[in-house]
Structure 1
Amino acid sequence: MTPAGHRLLHLCSLTLAAGAVALLALAACGSSPRPDHSAHSAMPGMDHTGTATPGSPPSGMPGMAGMTTDEGLAAERDGYRLDSPATELPAGRPVSYPFTITGPDGRPITDFAEVQTEKLHFYAIRADLTGYQHLHPTMAADGTWTADPAALDPGTWRLYASFTPNTGPRKGKEFVLGRTLTVPGTATAVPLPAAGDSATVDGWTATVQGDLTAGKAGPLTVSISRDGRPVTDLQPYLDSYAHLSAFHQGDQALAHLHPITPVAGDHGGPSLTFYALLGRPGNWRVFLQFRTAGQVHTAELTLHVA
Protein backbone atom coordinates (compact mmCIF):
# COMPACT_ATOMS: atom_id res chain seq x y z
CA MET A 1 0.00 0.00 0.00
CA THR A 2 1.26 3.49 -0.78
CA PRO A 3 1.96 6.05 1.97
CA ALA A 4 -1.15 7.97 0.83
CA GLY A 5 -3.23 4.80 1.20
CA HIS A 6 -1.92 4.25 4.77
CA ARG A 7 -2.87 7.83 5.69
CA LEU A 8 -6.40 7.35 4.23
CA LEU A 9 -6.89 4.07 6.12
CA HIS A 10 -5.76 5.71 9.38
CA LEU A 11 -8.19 8.65 8.85
CA CYS A 12 -11.12 6.28 8.22
CA SER A 13 -10.29 4.31 11.38
CA LEU A 14 -10.34 7.48 13.47
CA THR A 15 -13.67 8.53 11.97
CA LEU A 16 -15.28 5.12 12.68
CA ALA A 17 -13.94 5.17 16.25
CA ALA A 18 -15.38 8.64 16.88
CA GLY A 19 -18.75 7.49 15.53
CA ALA A 20 -18.76 4.48 17.84
CA VAL A 21 -18.01 6.67 20.85
CA ALA A 22 -20.85 8.99 19.90
CA LEU A 23 -23.29 6.07 19.59
CA LEU A 24 -22.23 4.73 22.99
CA ALA A 25 -22.74 8.18 24.51
CA LEU A 26 -26.24 8.40 23.03
CA ALA A 27 -27.15 5.00 24.38
CA ALA A 28 -25.83 5.85 27.83
CA CYS A 29 -27.97 9.02 27.87
CA GLY A 30 -31.11 7.13 26.93
CA SER A 31 -31.51 9.00 23.64
CA SER A 32 -32.07 6.01 21.41
CA PRO A 33 -35.69 5.05 22.30
CA ARG A 34 -38.43 6.62 20.19
CA PRO A 35 -39.80 9.70 21.97
CA ASP A 36 -43.30 9.40 23.46
CA HIS A 37 -45.45 12.36 22.41
CA SER A 38 -48.68 11.09 23.92
CA ALA A 39 -48.43 13.46 26.87
CA HIS A 40 -48.79 16.40 24.50
CA SER A 41 -51.66 15.11 22.40
CA ALA A 42 -54.37 17.01 24.28
CA MET A 43 -52.41 20.14 25.12
CA PRO A 44 -53.57 23.32 23.38
CA GLY A 45 -50.71 25.25 21.84
CA MET A 46 -48.85 22.03 21.02
CA ASP A 47 -48.75 20.16 17.75
CA HIS A 48 -48.63 16.34 17.59
CA THR A 49 -44.87 16.35 18.12
CA GLY A 50 -45.10 18.34 21.34
CA THR A 51 -43.69 21.48 19.71
CA ALA A 52 -45.24 24.80 20.67
CA THR A 53 -47.34 26.18 17.86
CA PRO A 54 -46.95 29.81 16.78
CA GLY A 55 -48.62 32.21 19.18
CA SER A 56 -48.96 29.64 21.95
CA PRO A 57 -48.09 30.52 25.54
CA PRO A 58 -45.36 28.70 27.46
CA SER A 59 -46.57 25.51 29.14
CA GLY A 60 -47.46 25.78 32.80
CA MET A 61 -48.53 29.41 32.48
CA PRO A 62 -51.35 30.41 34.88
CA GLY A 63 -54.77 30.04 33.29
CA MET A 64 -53.77 27.29 30.88
CA ALA A 65 -55.65 24.69 32.93
CA GLY A 66 -58.84 26.22 31.58
CA MET A 67 -57.96 25.39 27.96
CA THR A 68 -59.31 22.13 26.60
CA THR A 69 -60.21 20.80 23.18
CA ASP A 70 -63.40 19.20 24.57
CA GLU A 71 -66.47 21.20 23.51
CA GLY A 72 -69.34 19.57 25.38
CA LEU A 73 -71.06 18.31 22.23
CA ALA A 74 -71.00 14.66 23.33
CA ALA A 75 -72.30 12.94 26.45
CA GLU A 76 -69.46 10.40 26.41
CA ARG A 77 -65.73 10.44 25.75
CA ASP A 78 -62.96 7.94 26.49
CA GLY A 79 -65.38 5.85 28.55
CA TYR A 80 -66.52 8.76 30.75
CA ARG A 81 -70.21 9.61 30.49
CA LEU A 82 -72.61 12.30 31.68
CA ASP A 83 -75.88 10.58 32.65
CA SER A 84 -79.17 11.99 33.90
CA PRO A 85 -82.71 10.62 34.23
CA ALA A 86 -84.06 14.06 33.29
CA THR A 87 -84.86 14.76 29.64
CA GLU A 88 -87.27 17.63 30.40
CA LEU A 89 -87.42 20.37 33.01
CA PRO A 90 -90.39 22.65 33.69
CA ALA A 91 -90.34 26.28 32.59
CA GLY A 92 -90.59 29.38 34.71
CA ARG A 93 -89.39 28.16 38.10
CA PRO A 94 -86.17 27.02 39.77
CA VAL A 95 -85.54 23.31 39.31
CA SER A 96 -83.05 20.60 40.24
CA TYR A 97 -81.12 18.61 37.65
CA PRO A 98 -79.64 15.33 38.95
CA PHE A 99 -76.77 13.68 37.08
CA THR A 100 -73.77 11.40 37.47
CA ILE A 101 -70.38 11.09 35.82
CA THR A 102 -69.65 7.43 35.19
CA GLY A 103 -66.20 6.05 34.44
CA PRO A 104 -65.00 3.33 32.06
CA ASP A 105 -66.19 0.69 34.56
CA GLY A 106 -69.75 2.03 34.33
CA ARG A 107 -69.87 3.19 37.94
CA PRO A 108 -70.32 6.78 39.16
CA ILE A 109 -67.09 8.61 39.91
CA THR A 110 -66.79 10.17 43.36
CA ASP A 111 -63.17 11.40 43.28
CA PHE A 112 -62.62 14.58 41.27
CA ALA A 113 -59.65 16.94 41.18
CA GLU A 114 -60.25 20.52 42.23
CA VAL A 115 -59.90 22.88 39.25
CA GLN A 116 -60.38 26.62 39.64
CA THR A 117 -61.49 26.04 43.27
CA GLU A 118 -64.29 23.62 42.27
CA LYS A 119 -64.55 19.88 41.57
CA LEU A 120 -67.12 20.36 38.81
CA HIS A 121 -68.29 23.30 36.74
CA PHE A 122 -71.80 23.17 35.28
CA TYR A 123 -73.10 25.34 32.43
CA ALA A 124 -76.54 25.80 30.90
CA ILE A 125 -77.51 27.71 27.76
CA ARG A 126 -80.47 27.73 25.38
CA ALA A 127 -80.10 26.93 21.69
CA ASP A 128 -80.22 30.64 20.78
CA LEU A 129 -77.32 31.26 23.23
CA THR A 130 -79.46 33.02 25.83
CA GLY A 131 -80.07 32.19 29.47
CA TYR A 132 -76.43 31.48 30.35
CA GLN A 133 -75.85 29.97 33.78
CA HIS A 134 -72.57 28.86 35.40
CA LEU A 135 -73.12 26.76 38.51
CA HIS A 136 -71.17 24.64 40.96
CA PRO A 137 -73.35 21.66 41.94
CA THR A 138 -73.11 19.55 45.06
CA MET A 139 -72.29 15.84 45.02
CA ALA A 140 -73.76 13.14 47.27
CA ALA A 141 -71.65 10.30 48.65
CA ASP A 142 -72.89 7.94 45.91
CA GLY A 143 -71.63 10.23 43.12
CA THR A 144 -74.96 11.86 42.28
CA TRP A 145 -74.61 15.56 41.51
CA THR A 146 -77.45 18.06 41.84
CA ALA A 147 -77.43 21.31 39.89
CA ASP A 148 -80.01 23.96 40.75
CA PRO A 149 -80.42 26.26 37.74
CA ALA A 150 -82.62 29.32 37.92
CA ALA A 151 -85.91 29.36 36.02
CA LEU A 152 -85.49 28.22 32.41
CA ASP A 153 -87.39 29.62 29.42
CA PRO A 154 -89.10 27.18 27.03
CA GLY A 155 -86.87 25.74 24.32
CA THR A 156 -84.00 23.33 23.80
CA TRP A 157 -81.14 23.64 26.26
CA ARG A 158 -77.67 22.17 26.41
CA LEU A 159 -76.17 21.37 29.79
CA TYR A 160 -72.41 20.89 30.26
CA ALA A 161 -70.27 19.34 32.98
CA SER A 162 -66.57 20.21 33.15
CA PHE A 163 -64.50 17.97 35.43
CA THR A 164 -61.16 16.24 35.94
CA PRO A 165 -61.03 12.68 37.32
CA ASN A 166 -58.71 12.29 40.28
CA THR A 167 -58.39 8.53 39.78
CA GLY A 168 -58.74 6.02 36.95
CA PRO A 169 -57.22 5.68 33.48
CA ARG A 170 -57.68 9.37 32.60
CA LYS A 171 -56.61 10.83 35.92
CA GLY A 172 -55.73 14.49 35.52
CA LYS A 173 -57.41 14.94 32.12
CA GLU A 174 -60.10 17.59 31.84
CA PHE A 175 -63.39 16.58 30.25
CA VAL A 176 -66.32 18.69 29.09
CA LEU A 177 -69.40 16.55 28.45
CA GLY A 178 -72.87 17.77 27.48
CA ARG A 179 -76.48 16.70 27.08
CA THR A 180 -79.58 18.41 25.71
CA LEU A 181 -82.99 18.62 27.29
CA THR A 182 -86.33 20.22 26.51
CA VAL A 183 -88.18 22.85 28.48
CA PRO A 184 -91.80 22.57 27.28
CA GLY A 185 -93.72 25.64 26.16
CA THR A 186 -93.72 28.17 23.37
CA ALA A 187 -90.14 29.14 22.60
CA THR A 188 -89.31 32.54 21.14
CA ALA A 189 -85.83 32.65 19.67
CA VAL A 190 -83.73 35.75 20.38
CA PRO A 191 -81.49 36.91 17.49
CA LEU A 192 -77.78 36.84 18.26
CA PRO A 193 -76.47 40.39 18.84
CA ALA A 194 -73.99 41.67 16.27
CA ALA A 195 -70.30 41.14 16.84
CA GLY A 196 -68.61 43.87 18.84
CA ASP A 197 -65.59 44.52 21.02
CA SER A 198 -67.18 45.81 24.23
CA ALA A 199 -70.04 45.27 26.65
CA THR A 200 -71.24 47.11 29.76
CA VAL A 201 -72.74 45.44 32.84
CA ASP A 202 -73.63 47.03 36.20
CA GLY A 203 -71.64 50.14 35.19
CA TRP A 204 -68.44 48.23 34.31
CA THR A 205 -67.28 48.04 30.69
CA ALA A 206 -65.28 45.13 29.28
CA THR A 207 -63.38 45.76 26.05
CA VAL A 208 -61.89 42.88 24.06
CA GLN A 209 -58.92 43.05 21.70
CA GLY A 210 -57.50 40.24 19.58
CA ASP A 211 -57.84 38.70 16.14
CA LEU A 212 -58.70 35.03 16.54
CA THR A 213 -58.38 32.26 13.98
CA ALA A 214 -60.37 29.06 14.39
CA GLY A 215 -58.35 26.15 15.73
CA LYS A 216 -55.32 28.24 16.73
CA ALA A 217 -54.52 29.47 20.23
CA GLY A 218 -54.11 33.21 20.19
CA PRO A 219 -53.94 36.10 22.66
CA LEU A 220 -57.11 37.86 23.70
CA THR A 221 -56.87 40.93 25.93
CA VAL A 222 -59.79 42.12 28.05
CA SER A 223 -59.69 45.57 29.66
CA ILE A 224 -62.10 46.53 32.45
CA SER A 225 -63.11 50.15 33.06
CA ARG A 226 -65.77 52.12 34.92
CA ASP A 227 -66.92 55.59 33.89
CA GLY A 228 -63.97 55.70 31.51
CA ARG A 229 -61.38 54.97 34.19
CA PRO A 230 -59.30 51.77 34.35
CA VAL A 231 -60.34 49.33 37.06
CA THR A 232 -57.52 47.99 39.23
CA ASP A 233 -59.41 46.37 42.11
CA LEU A 234 -60.71 43.17 40.55
CA GLN A 235 -61.00 40.39 43.11
CA PRO A 236 -60.13 36.73 42.50
CA TYR A 237 -62.98 34.68 41.08
CA LEU A 238 -62.46 30.92 40.70
CA ASP A 239 -58.77 31.41 41.52
CA SER A 240 -58.23 33.99 38.76
CA TYR A 241 -59.37 37.51 37.90
CA ALA A 242 -62.00 36.42 35.38
CA HIS A 243 -63.75 33.46 33.80
CA LEU A 244 -64.69 33.46 30.13
CA SER A 245 -67.21 31.07 28.54
CA ALA A 246 -67.80 31.14 24.78
CA PHE A 247 -70.49 29.26 22.84
CA HIS A 248 -70.45 28.76 19.08
CA GLN A 249 -73.51 29.88 17.15
CA GLY A 250 -75.03 26.86 15.46
CA ASP A 251 -73.74 23.85 17.41
CA GLN A 252 -73.22 25.35 20.90
CA ALA A 253 -69.61 24.16 21.16
CA LEU A 254 -68.18 25.43 24.45
CA ALA A 255 -64.79 26.97 25.20
CA HIS A 256 -64.00 28.17 28.71
CA LEU A 257 -60.91 30.17 29.55
CA HIS A 258 -59.13 31.90 32.39
CA PRO A 259 -56.63 34.76 32.15
CA ILE A 260 -52.94 33.96 32.39
CA THR A 261 -52.52 37.11 34.50
CA PRO A 262 -51.18 36.03 37.93
CA VAL A 263 -53.41 36.70 40.94
CA ALA A 264 -52.07 39.16 43.53
CA GLY A 265 -54.85 39.92 46.01
CA ASP A 266 -57.68 42.33 45.22
CA HIS A 267 -55.62 44.26 42.71
CA GLY A 268 -56.60 42.79 39.35
CA GLY A 269 -56.97 44.81 36.18
CA PRO A 270 -57.31 46.78 34.21
CA SER A 271 -56.01 44.40 31.51
CA LEU A 272 -56.29 40.62 31.53
CA THR A 273 -54.70 38.36 28.92
CA PHE A 274 -56.29 35.09 27.80
CA TYR A 275 -55.01 32.54 25.31
CA ALA A 276 -58.16 31.62 23.43
CA LEU A 277 -58.59 28.38 21.51
CA LEU A 278 -61.89 28.51 19.61
CA GLY A 279 -62.24 25.54 17.32
CA ARG A 280 -64.70 26.81 14.71
CA PRO A 281 -65.04 29.89 12.53
CA GLY A 282 -68.10 32.10 12.88
CA ASN A 283 -69.78 33.90 15.74
CA TRP A 284 -69.25 33.00 19.38
CA ARG A 285 -71.34 34.34 22.24
CA VAL A 286 -68.99 35.28 25.08
CA PHE A 287 -69.82 35.55 28.78
CA LEU A 288 -67.08 37.22 30.82
CA GLN A 289 -67.42 36.92 34.60
CA PHE A 290 -65.39 39.00 37.04
CA ARG A 291 -65.73 40.10 40.66
CA THR A 292 -65.60 43.53 42.30
CA ALA A 293 -66.53 44.36 45.91
CA GLY A 294 -67.72 40.81 46.45
CA GLN A 295 -70.16 40.84 43.50
CA VAL A 296 -69.78 38.76 40.34
CA HIS A 297 -70.65 40.56 37.09
CA THR A 298 -71.32 38.88 33.75
CA ALA A 299 -70.60 40.87 30.59
CA GLU A 300 -72.00 39.47 27.33
CA LEU A 301 -70.78 40.13 23.79
CA THR A 302 -70.43 38.43 20.41
CA LEU A 303 -67.02 37.72 18.89
CA HIS A 304 -66.40 36.78 15.28
CA VAL A 305 -63.68 34.20 14.61
CA ALA A 306 -62.12 33.94 11.16
Structure 2
Amino acid sequence: MKPQHPTFPEPDDAAARRAMSPVTCYPADCLPAVDLAALGAARDGWQRIAAVTVPPRDAGCFEVPAGHFFRISSIGGPQVGDLNLWSADLSERFYSGKTRALHGTHVSTGDRLWSSFPALRPMATITADTLDWYGFDADGLSVHDVIGTRCDPYTHNLLTGGQYHHCCHSNLTRALAAHRGLTLEQAETHVHDVLNVFMCTGFSRRTGQYLMKASPVRPGDYLEFLAEIDLLGALSACPGGDCSAEHSSDRASCHPLLVEVFRPAAPPRGWLAPEVSGYDRSHGARPDNPQ
Protein backbone atom coordinates (compact mmCIF):
# COMPACT_ATOMS: atom_id res chain seq x y z
CA MET A 1 0.00 0.00 0.00
CA LYS A 2 1.28 3.43 -0.92
CA PRO A 3 1.90 5.72 2.10
CA GLN A 4 -0.92 8.20 2.63
CA HIS A 5 1.53 10.69 4.12
CA PRO A 6 4.82 10.51 2.19
CA THR A 7 7.99 10.97 4.16
CA PHE A 8 9.71 13.11 1.52
CA PRO A 9 8.42 16.33 -0.07
CA GLU A 10 7.69 16.54 -3.78
CA PRO A 11 10.54 17.92 -5.90
CA ASP A 12 9.94 21.04 -7.94
CA ASP A 13 9.59 19.02 -11.15
CA ALA A 14 7.18 16.40 -9.70
CA ALA A 15 4.39 17.30 -12.13
CA ALA A 16 6.70 16.95 -15.12
CA ARG A 17 7.94 13.57 -13.93
CA ARG A 18 4.39 12.30 -13.51
CA ALA A 19 3.40 13.62 -16.93
CA MET A 20 5.84 11.41 -18.85
CA SER A 21 4.06 9.38 -21.53
CA PRO A 22 3.86 5.62 -20.92
CA VAL A 23 4.93 3.05 -23.48
CA THR A 24 3.86 -0.57 -23.93
CA CYS A 25 6.54 -2.82 -22.45
CA TYR A 26 6.00 -5.75 -24.82
CA PRO A 27 4.24 -4.74 -28.06
CA ALA A 28 2.67 -8.02 -29.19
CA ASP A 29 1.80 -6.99 -32.74
CA CYS A 30 4.55 -9.24 -34.09
CA LEU A 31 3.04 -12.40 -32.61
CA PRO A 32 1.37 -14.73 -35.16
CA ALA A 33 -2.27 -13.79 -35.63
CA VAL A 34 -4.95 -16.10 -34.25
CA ASP A 35 -7.30 -17.32 -37.01
CA LEU A 36 -10.55 -17.30 -35.07
CA ALA A 37 -12.58 -18.24 -38.15
CA ALA A 38 -10.53 -21.42 -38.64
CA LEU A 39 -10.80 -22.25 -34.94
CA GLY A 40 -14.56 -21.72 -35.04
CA ALA A 41 -14.92 -23.93 -38.12
CA ALA A 42 -13.05 -26.73 -36.34
CA ARG A 43 -16.01 -27.08 -33.95
CA ASP A 44 -18.11 -28.53 -36.77
CA GLY A 45 -18.42 -32.24 -36.16
CA TRP A 46 -16.25 -32.26 -33.07
CA GLN A 47 -16.79 -35.03 -30.53
CA ARG A 48 -16.76 -34.76 -26.77
CA ILE A 49 -14.24 -37.31 -25.54
CA ALA A 50 -13.98 -36.49 -21.82
CA ALA A 51 -15.74 -34.55 -19.10
CA VAL A 52 -14.76 -33.78 -15.51
CA THR A 53 -17.11 -32.23 -12.97
CA VAL A 54 -15.13 -30.32 -10.36
CA PRO A 55 -16.92 -30.32 -6.99
CA PRO A 56 -17.20 -27.15 -4.89
CA ARG A 57 -14.09 -26.43 -2.77
CA ASP A 58 -12.18 -29.16 -4.60
CA ALA A 59 -10.22 -29.65 -7.81
CA GLY A 60 -9.98 -32.10 -10.68
CA CYS A 61 -7.44 -32.92 -13.39
CA PHE A 62 -7.95 -33.42 -17.11
CA GLU A 63 -5.77 -34.14 -20.14
CA VAL A 64 -6.05 -32.54 -23.57
CA PRO A 65 -4.10 -33.69 -26.65
CA ALA A 66 -2.58 -31.00 -28.85
CA GLY A 67 -5.06 -29.73 -31.43
CA HIS A 68 -8.07 -30.57 -29.24
CA PHE A 69 -10.37 -28.13 -27.46
CA PHE A 70 -11.40 -27.85 -23.84
CA ARG A 71 -14.17 -25.81 -22.29
CA ILE A 72 -14.72 -24.68 -18.68
CA SER A 73 -18.40 -24.08 -17.95
CA SER A 74 -20.51 -22.72 -15.12
CA ILE A 75 -23.21 -25.30 -14.41
CA GLY A 76 -24.68 -24.74 -10.95
CA GLY A 77 -24.38 -21.08 -10.06
CA PRO A 78 -21.85 -18.22 -10.04
CA GLN A 79 -18.47 -19.80 -9.39
CA VAL A 80 -14.83 -18.86 -9.90
CA GLY A 81 -12.17 -21.39 -10.92
CA ASP A 82 -8.37 -21.44 -10.57
CA LEU A 83 -6.65 -23.08 -13.55
CA ASN A 84 -3.17 -24.64 -13.70
CA LEU A 85 -1.75 -25.98 -16.97
CA TRP A 86 1.32 -28.13 -17.58
CA SER A 87 2.80 -29.88 -20.55
CA ALA A 88 1.83 -33.55 -20.37
CA ASP A 89 5.30 -34.46 -19.05
CA LEU A 90 5.20 -31.64 -16.42
CA SER A 91 8.34 -30.02 -17.87
CA GLU A 92 6.48 -26.79 -18.78
CA ARG A 93 3.93 -24.85 -16.77
CA PHE A 94 1.68 -21.89 -17.41
CA TYR A 95 3.57 -18.61 -16.95
CA SER A 96 0.97 -16.13 -15.72
CA GLY A 97 3.44 -13.26 -15.43
CA LYS A 98 4.61 -13.44 -19.03
CA THR A 99 1.04 -13.95 -20.24
CA ARG A 100 0.11 -10.78 -18.35
CA ALA A 101 3.05 -8.88 -19.83
CA LEU A 102 2.13 -9.90 -23.38
CA HIS A 103 -1.67 -9.69 -23.28
CA GLY A 104 -2.65 -7.63 -20.23
CA THR A 105 -4.06 -8.17 -16.76
CA HIS A 106 -7.12 -10.04 -18.06
CA VAL A 107 -7.43 -12.38 -21.03
CA SER A 108 -10.18 -13.24 -23.48
CA THR A 109 -10.79 -14.56 -27.00
CA GLY A 110 -7.65 -14.65 -29.14
CA ASP A 111 -5.22 -14.39 -26.23
CA ARG A 112 -2.74 -17.17 -25.52
CA LEU A 113 -1.55 -18.77 -22.31
CA TRP A 114 2.26 -18.98 -22.44
CA SER A 115 4.58 -21.55 -20.91
CA SER A 116 7.56 -21.11 -18.62
CA PHE A 117 11.20 -20.70 -19.61
CA PRO A 118 13.07 -22.03 -21.48
CA ALA A 119 10.23 -23.15 -23.79
CA LEU A 120 8.15 -19.93 -23.74
CA ARG A 121 5.55 -21.06 -26.24
CA PRO A 122 1.76 -20.96 -26.41
CA MET A 123 0.18 -23.72 -24.32
CA ALA A 124 -3.44 -22.83 -25.09
CA THR A 125 -5.33 -20.22 -27.08
CA ILE A 126 -8.67 -18.84 -25.92
CA THR A 127 -11.18 -19.58 -28.67
CA ALA A 128 -14.44 -18.38 -27.07
CA ASP A 129 -15.48 -16.39 -24.01
CA THR A 130 -19.16 -15.82 -23.24
CA LEU A 131 -18.19 -13.05 -20.81
CA ASP A 132 -16.27 -11.00 -23.37
CA TRP A 133 -19.07 -8.41 -23.22
CA TYR A 134 -18.04 -7.38 -19.68
CA GLY A 135 -14.91 -5.43 -20.60
CA PHE A 136 -13.62 -3.16 -17.81
CA ASP A 137 -16.27 -1.79 -15.47
CA ALA A 138 -16.48 1.59 -13.72
CA ASP A 139 -14.25 0.30 -10.90
CA GLY A 140 -11.56 -0.78 -13.37
CA LEU A 141 -12.28 -4.50 -12.83
CA SER A 142 -12.57 -7.19 -15.50
CA VAL A 143 -12.92 -10.98 -15.86
CA HIS A 144 -10.40 -13.87 -16.23
CA ASP A 145 -7.33 -12.36 -14.58
CA VAL A 146 -3.66 -13.32 -14.62
CA ILE A 147 -2.78 -11.04 -11.71
CA GLY A 148 -3.97 -13.00 -8.67
CA THR A 149 -1.81 -15.85 -7.44
CA ARG A 150 -4.36 -18.38 -6.04
CA CYS A 151 -5.84 -18.55 -2.58
CA ASP A 152 -3.51 -20.61 -0.41
CA PRO A 153 -3.24 -21.93 3.14
CA TYR A 154 0.06 -20.16 3.80
CA THR A 155 -1.33 -16.66 3.28
CA HIS A 156 -4.48 -17.67 5.15
CA ASN A 157 -2.33 -18.74 8.10
CA LEU A 158 -0.26 -15.55 7.87
CA LEU A 159 -3.32 -13.32 8.05
CA THR A 160 -5.56 -15.32 10.39
CA GLY A 161 -3.41 -17.94 12.12
CA GLY A 162 -5.88 -20.60 10.94
CA GLN A 163 -5.46 -23.94 9.20
CA TYR A 164 -7.65 -24.06 6.08
CA HIS A 165 -7.22 -26.98 3.67
CA HIS A 166 -9.59 -26.18 0.80
CA CYS A 167 -7.78 -23.16 -0.63
CA CYS A 168 -7.19 -23.47 -4.36
CA HIS A 169 -3.48 -24.16 -3.80
CA SER A 170 -4.28 -27.17 -1.64
CA ASN A 171 -7.10 -28.31 -3.93
CA LEU A 172 -4.76 -28.26 -6.94
CA THR A 173 -2.04 -30.05 -4.96
CA ARG A 174 -4.38 -32.88 -3.93
CA ALA A 175 -5.79 -33.25 -7.43
CA LEU A 176 -2.38 -33.42 -9.13
CA ALA A 177 -1.05 -35.87 -6.53
CA ALA A 178 -4.00 -38.20 -7.02
CA HIS A 179 -3.97 -37.94 -10.83
CA ARG A 180 -0.26 -38.58 -11.29
CA GLY A 181 0.46 -40.79 -8.27
CA LEU A 182 2.67 -38.22 -6.57
CA THR A 183 3.09 -37.43 -2.92
CA LEU A 184 1.59 -34.17 -1.74
CA GLU A 185 5.13 -32.80 -1.32
CA GLN A 186 6.03 -33.73 -4.90
CA ALA A 187 2.80 -32.39 -6.34
CA GLU A 188 3.02 -29.07 -4.48
CA THR A 189 6.27 -28.18 -6.25
CA HIS A 190 4.38 -28.17 -9.56
CA VAL A 191 1.44 -25.99 -8.48
CA HIS A 192 1.85 -22.46 -9.80
CA ASP A 193 0.11 -19.12 -10.30
CA VAL A 194 -3.20 -19.49 -12.05
CA LEU A 195 -5.59 -18.14 -14.59
CA ASN A 196 -8.52 -17.00 -12.44
CA VAL A 197 -11.36 -18.21 -14.63
CA PHE A 198 -14.58 -16.15 -14.30
CA MET A 199 -13.09 -14.07 -11.44
CA CYS A 200 -13.79 -10.32 -11.59
CA THR A 201 -10.76 -8.39 -10.33
CA GLY A 202 -8.58 -5.33 -10.64
CA PHE A 203 -6.46 -2.90 -8.68
CA SER A 204 -7.43 0.06 -6.54
CA ARG A 205 -6.19 3.31 -8.09
CA ARG A 206 -5.94 4.75 -4.58
CA THR A 207 -3.99 2.04 -2.73
CA GLY A 208 -2.83 -0.34 -5.47
CA GLN A 209 -4.45 -3.26 -3.66
CA TYR A 210 -5.91 -6.28 -5.43
CA LEU A 211 -9.72 -6.04 -5.56
CA MET A 212 -12.47 -8.54 -6.38
CA LYS A 213 -16.22 -8.34 -6.77
CA ALA A 214 -19.06 -10.74 -7.52
CA SER A 215 -18.34 -12.59 -10.76
CA PRO A 216 -20.82 -11.92 -13.59
CA VAL A 217 -20.70 -15.62 -14.57
CA ARG A 218 -23.99 -17.52 -14.77
CA PRO A 219 -24.84 -21.15 -15.60
CA GLY A 220 -24.23 -21.68 -19.31
CA ASP A 221 -21.27 -19.31 -19.50
CA TYR A 222 -17.96 -20.83 -20.58
CA LEU A 223 -14.34 -20.14 -21.44
CA GLU A 224 -13.01 -22.30 -24.28
CA PHE A 225 -9.46 -23.10 -25.39
CA LEU A 226 -7.46 -24.84 -28.11
CA ALA A 227 -4.65 -26.97 -26.65
CA GLU A 228 -1.52 -25.94 -28.54
CA ILE A 229 0.56 -28.75 -26.98
CA ASP A 230 -0.31 -31.95 -25.09
CA LEU A 231 -1.69 -30.61 -21.83
CA LEU A 232 -2.38 -31.69 -18.29
CA GLY A 233 -4.76 -29.31 -16.55
CA ALA A 234 -6.08 -28.91 -13.02
CA LEU A 235 -9.04 -26.74 -12.09
CA SER A 236 -10.11 -25.74 -8.57
CA ALA A 237 -13.64 -24.57 -7.76
CA CYS A 238 -12.61 -21.73 -5.45
CA PRO A 239 -13.91 -21.79 -1.85
CA GLY A 240 -14.87 -18.16 -2.36
CA GLY A 241 -17.70 -19.10 -4.73
CA ASP A 242 -18.30 -16.01 -6.87
CA CYS A 243 -15.70 -14.11 -4.78
CA SER A 244 -18.18 -11.39 -3.88
CA ALA A 245 -17.03 -11.23 -0.26
CA GLU A 246 -14.14 -13.50 0.69
CA HIS A 247 -12.21 -16.59 -0.25
CA SER A 248 -10.62 -19.36 1.84
CA SER A 249 -13.95 -19.78 3.61
CA ASP A 250 -16.64 -22.40 4.16
CA ARG A 251 -19.28 -19.67 4.39
CA ALA A 252 -19.46 -18.73 0.72
CA SER A 253 -22.02 -20.37 -1.56
CA CYS A 254 -20.04 -22.60 -3.93
CA HIS A 255 -20.97 -24.53 -7.06
CA PRO A 256 -19.38 -27.15 -9.34
CA LEU A 257 -17.59 -26.40 -12.60
CA LEU A 258 -17.55 -28.58 -15.72
CA VAL A 259 -14.51 -29.25 -17.92
CA GLU A 260 -15.18 -30.85 -21.32
CA VAL A 261 -12.61 -32.02 -23.88
CA PHE A 262 -13.50 -32.09 -27.59
CA ARG A 263 -11.77 -33.81 -30.50
CA PRO A 264 -12.26 -31.96 -33.81
CA ALA A 265 -12.99 -33.95 -36.94
CA ALA A 266 -9.81 -32.43 -38.38
CA PRO A 267 -7.19 -30.06 -36.96
CA PRO A 268 -8.03 -26.38 -37.35
CA ARG A 269 -7.09 -25.10 -40.80
CA GLY A 270 -3.45 -24.00 -40.86
CA TRP A 271 -2.79 -25.02 -37.25
CA LEU A 272 0.69 -26.28 -36.32
CA ALA A 273 1.91 -27.14 -32.83
CA PRO A 274 4.22 -24.33 -31.63
CA GLU A 275 7.98 -24.78 -31.40
CA VAL A 276 9.87 -23.98 -28.23
CA SER A 277 11.67 -20.65 -27.98
CA GLY A 278 14.45 -20.07 -30.50
CA TYR A 279 16.75 -18.48 -27.92
CA ASP A 280 20.12 -20.28 -27.91
CA ARG A 281 20.37 -20.28 -24.08
CA SER A 282 24.00 -19.13 -24.12
CA HIS A 283 23.13 -16.19 -21.80
CA GLY A 284 26.05 -14.19 -23.11
CA ALA A 285 28.78 -16.61 -22.02
CA ARG A 286 31.87 -16.36 -24.29
CA PRO A 287 32.83 -19.60 -26.06
CA ASP A 288 36.26 -19.40 -24.41
CA ASN A 289 34.79 -18.74 -20.98
CA PRO A 290 31.65 -20.83 -20.51
CA GLN A 291 29.73 -20.16 -17.30
Per the normalisation by structure 1, the TM-score is 0.24
More helix per residue: 1 or 2? Answer: 2
More strand per residue: 1 or 2? Answer: 1
Greater RCO (Cα-Cα under 8 Å, separation 6 or more): 2
Larger radius of gyration: 1
